[in-house]
Structure 1
Amino acid sequence: MLSHVIPPPRCYTKASNSLVRHPRIGSDAKILVLYIQGLPEEDRDKPLSEHARAFRLTGRAYQKAKADLVTYGYVHEKREHLSNGRWRTVQVFSNEPLTDDQADRLRAGVPADGYESAGGSAVPDAWSAPTTHFPTVGQPTPRWVGGLLPADEEQGEDSSHPPTEAADEVVTAAEVEETGEEPQAPSQEELVLAERVLLSLKHQARQLTLGVREARKLAGLAAEWLRRGVSAGDLRLALSSALPAEGVRTAFGFLAHRLVEKLPPRPEEVAESTSPPPSAPLPLPLIACDGPGEEHVFRPHMSWVTTCGPCHREQQRAEAELMLARAQADPAPPTPSWRERVAAEARANQVASGYGTRATAT
């Protein structure tokens, strides 16, 4: 393959090779990370779903991309109960994987591994966030996630290589969703039961072995299955059956993906989607029959019917007998044979010829 790469002079987004070459993250999730990373800081504080709708990523494609980002640490979610009785979901987004501890510290505005809180978003303290000016202003800095700094790299004004991950930006976005009613969260008993089910999967398949901390992280997703009416045995069967032929690379990522993708609908959603059968129409009232004989009533099957079935059949039989009698009293003339039809045609031609001759002589 021949390649010709021209680095853009401005208005570009630098992507980490660990994200671009990640074998388990879909292309939609990668594009979503790059899209949010390239936005100005004041445009990032929106729900993740709104960012996805900006380039028409909706439905199951968005749910799968979001599940990939949550599974591999690019998105962290936490539900919070507000003082006014409402609930909200806060999302922390980063273009580099974050641990749960790092996400919690960033959510609380506490510096984590080189992060400083700036205007509600967590960005490196030495980094100047891009603005809406064209071109964007601000100097790039090395990556700070995890406290590891990449090797120094000098880039001149006319570099023949595209920008590398040495100057990756670290961005975050918070998503807040408020609902009018308090959602039903899984109970502590359901969380404990879900954790036990997850830990017992190693008896079904050794490649599904989870650690205690991993099972605890997935317990919330598994408990949602139990809250929707799925038994512990059915949950265990759904997670351990139909495993991929090539095997499971990571039990945590595989189970997290399956818990999200195969989540059954809520019972109330099933009830709403199942429409009741149409009710039978009310029968028509009894009416008097217009047929001959004694007066009697019947229930018509259509509104325009005025005679009952026996009277209607009797009327049809009488009409058929009358038509037969008329045909026998006045029979149709017999059909002439072909010889008679030819002779009649010849006589007609002779009459027409004689009439034309006499008209000419006159």
Structure 2
Amino acid sequence: MLSHVIPPPRGYTKAHNSLVRHPRIGSDAKVLVIYVQGLPEEDRDKALGEHARALRMTGRAYQKAKADLVTHGYVHEKRESLAGGRWRTVQVFSNEPLTDEQAARLRAGVPADGYENVGASAAPDAWPAPSAHSPTVGEPTGRRAGGLLPADGEQGEDSSHPPTEAAVEAESESQDQDQDQDQDQAEVLLAERVLLSLRHRTRELSLGAREARKLAALAAEWLRRGVSAGDLRLALSRALPEDGVRSAFGFLAHRLVEKLPPHPEATPEFLPPPPPLSLPLLACDGPGEEHMFRPHESWVTTCGPCHREQQRAYWADLMTRAEADPAPPRPSWRELAAEAAEAAANGGATCAEEAPGYGTRATAT
């Protein structure tokens, strides 16, 4: 593949490689994150479904994209009750994965581990009072950095001073580590969902949310070793004990450890059978000067040329003897029938006489 990439000087949206290269997030979900991230701040205060309609996503595609974003921590939802018995759903959207605790802090307008709710502004009473200095300025405040990048960001680095090779390698290693961590977290979440879904196959394997979270690390190791979610669910739910499962947590923990498949690279590949060992050199029994050959079978005592010469001499001698002493002509069937009829007409005793080259014939005495 030939690629020609021109970095835009302005009007672009930065997206993390862990999102763009995420193997378990669909393309619709990635486009939705990048689209919302690139909007101006005043246009983000909408439901995620409205942004999906702006991208002309169908209902089924949007539901799948939203499920991916919720599963991997990019979107968090919570229903809240209002006065008059009404309810509303509060959505927290981020271009980086957030935990439930971080999302709860952002809903409350409190910075959470370096993230801050961009859409929530401080109350007017909390703003610093202006000073008498001309021009009027307020007291210095901390920088308000949100979880989303600006819509029209300028390129920050100076192209005249490219980064060093060491810096590029360090950044690449950091991105690989982040991607591995995201992959591990996605596998743990998928394993936890598989464990919780076992209750639909049999009630004996029903787990609580806390129990499934404790076993998720063991089940995620199966996924890392190439086992699909369906195969993992089947391996944990089939061949149950005849007397039933007393403790679902203990039974699944034991099965996850005892039946853990080996690493794919540790499984020996099919090797072809080794070639047969060649036999040692032998002295040929044929005529002529003594010479050595390697037989193809243990019972062979002559080499190929000598064996063919012996066969040629044998057949030549056989043909010579046949020409020197030809066999008497064999009687025809007509002659044999006439002799048998004559013997029967005479009514005498018969004896068996050997007919040369043909067998025996009956003769009268």
The TM-score range, normalised by the shorter chain, is: 0.3 to 0.5
CA radius of gyration, larger in: 2
TM-score, length basis structure 1: 0.40
User: Greater relative contact order (Cα 8 A, min sep 6): structure 1 or 2?
Assistant: 1
TM-score, reference length from structure 2: 0.40
